[in-house]
A and B are shown apart, each in its own frame.
Chain A
């Protein structure tokens, strides 16, 4: 039975948790997002329905991670099968969040959800039992890097939820890896809460295999003086949707985002971002890059919301796109909604192909066209990849991307 049928006939999801009940109730009357809404109008409907065609799989999945750890101290977790963590060291501690706290937090989040905007989260939470939820809080200093894996298994849909609280003055490197399998769908919802003076270098690397689908949603709340750096890369998905929602709850925080999506064949990958400044002196520097080849479709929609309280906000957003084929298409919509007057906000967007003059220059120096294109692409990719907290010797993402091109 497909997901939508399951949601409509609520009862077929067994042993519902309280959260599942709330979300299912919200979805039951209109289980799908409004295809005419701003957030979904460009989404490929048939691909989305393929994503929802699989049945939910809650079983324990074995994941054979072939990538070596960065160092012995790296903490590596795989969401699923009641994954838990409780670590108390001299300088830091990582503690599993109690179920009460998790439920309370998620309920708070759900109360602010919009049916269309947060549909991915609603779906995730309605399909996920506590088994595939990982929630922990981090405190202290000198915290080792944390790597978290989410994966789907073939012919099924897996929903995984991650919730992380960063206590005051905490500083972490966090890498999230979402892996798709043949004919699979993965729904990953992440909630990050950064307390005062905390800082996160967050990397999100998602890559699939043939016909894998992904709904990836990231919700971040930043308290004052926190810093959030995100580097993300999405590629090789039949359909993938990455939603980033960041709220600077009191302003006075810094956010840097460098995201990239690469589409080929008939893939569709989209990135939606919404950055809200709810206090003064907020800072945002965002760049999104897309590369679309073959018959694929890459989408970026970014909105920056600066209400009256957010005076002296400094926000910039840039969308850079490369269109490499006559049959591919790119849609981009960077948008600003501003009420405060003492702000510096700007956005820009470009769509073009590889720079012909640069290619010509390299060819006159004896570099072949293929190599010259690769060189150009590598510099295009490098800006984003260098921002993802992954050590080069373990995961050479650049090589992976270039060799597939």
Chain B
């Protein structure tokens, strides 16, 4: 028999990103109303179209009901008890990184995100978002040489208003769902990426989201546009301090790929998950969607979800262009009292579109981990194909693993294949590895890593190693 206690000890590894940065911040009053929205817009010196967009979204949000179909159990969120704008106080305009508050740079250093370019060894440009605002974006000049725009969305609103007006809300409309409407009304910052025609982005782009204050929500918005024959790989990481209150994170990510363009979007989500009793942690309600508008365009989502008390996230692909491709690779790990309801939506609209879904769920402790996905093949999607694979691994007899695939086909000349399985860490395999002199924990870690291999293979190099370590860390001691 596997030593249950040993496994439990391993999971108890503390959350190492849980520190709070003591920095003076500018916060507005709690609550949500039209005036607050106007104030946010005013602080960000936004053009009128954006304020109208926000107010319209707010009106829609007021008429909407918080969704409960995922069956997630969490205490009701008081939307009037949240600060919708919080920013570290700093000089008005930053022209170089030297002007960024050293405390902030220190914070990101501590998180392992190098912002000072001299120290950078890896070829990754970073946009660091702290609470409601973007602090710094690195490698901008190098990127600009190739015509790539990589900046915070607030800057993009000022400098590239035409692109924002043209594309914002076209993939995830303000009325899409409750949390998307909320985000559209109050979004504070996020990243904006524009890859011009024919350009392969010379380096990986990355944004790092950090929630620092306990009473403010984070509502960032990311917009990535890949013009014809361009390609980009984008990485996203998230952490938050440990508070015993729940913090709301409602983000929207919109991707647009035109003819022959390809976007790879990878996430390692490690928000604070709450303690063993389920106190504290981030409520992570995220709407991510990509539109393959052009012919032969490709959008690939890969995600490693290990944090958050509640995860409600379904990165989707709208496959409109002929022969466009959607991919979704996910590892979701839940422990203690975490709840994750995640999956994807692949909507095949154009002919000869293809999608692949590989989802791996690992549930330990008393957690609940559900895969919820939709594959829909419309009447015009002739010759389309989908392949889905959802595997769950259960660790301990208190965790639950659910699979809810919704499959709909209206096109006879198409093929859909779905398979799902549930298993546990096999004692035979553990015994085998241990008999070969491999430590128990290492053996578990190897098996989990093997279970997730299909997904890790899809992650960019920098993330794959991190994800592997993160998973091993999170799981330590949870095998019973």
Contacts and interface: CB of A to CB of B under 8 A. Distances in A.
Contacts of B423: 344
Contacts of B424: 341-343
B405 A349 contact: yes
A335 B407 contact: no
A319 to B, nearest CB: 8
Interface in A320-363: 321, 323-353
Contacts of A394: none
B415 A335 contact: no
Q: Is the interface of A mostly helix, strand, loop or mixed?
A: strand
Contact of B422 (A331, A334, A336): A336
B418 interface: yes
B411 interface: yes
A311 interface: yes
Contacts of B401: 336, 338
Interface residues of B, number: 35
Contacts of A330: 407-409
A308 interface: yes
B421 A311 contact: no
B3 interface: no
B459 interface: no
Given A337-B400, A350-B415, A331 B407 contact: yes
Nearest to A324: B412
Interface string B406-450: 111111111111111111100000000000000000000000000
Interface stretch (B27-35, B183-191, B389-397): B389-397
B412 A353 contact: yes
B403 interface: yes
A323 B409 contact: yes
A353 B413 contact: yes
B363 to A, nearest CB: 9
A234 to B, nearest CB: 20
A360 B377 CA distance: 25
B37 to A, nearest CB: 31
A353 B409 CA distance: 11
Contacts of B417: 348-350
Contacts of A328: 410, 412
Interface string B370-398: 00000001010000000000001011111
B199 to A, nearest CB: 39
Nearest to A42: B408
Nearest 6 A-B pairs (CB), nearest first? A341-B394, A346-B421, A349-B418, A323-B412, A351-B416, A345-B422
15 contacts: A308-B398, A328-B412, A329-B409, A332-B407, A333-B406, A335-B403, A339-B397, A340-B394, A341-B399, A347-B419, A347-B420, A348-B417, A352-B414, A352-B416, A353-B413
Interface of A: 308, 311, 321, 323-353
Interface of B: 377, 379, 392, 394-424, 480
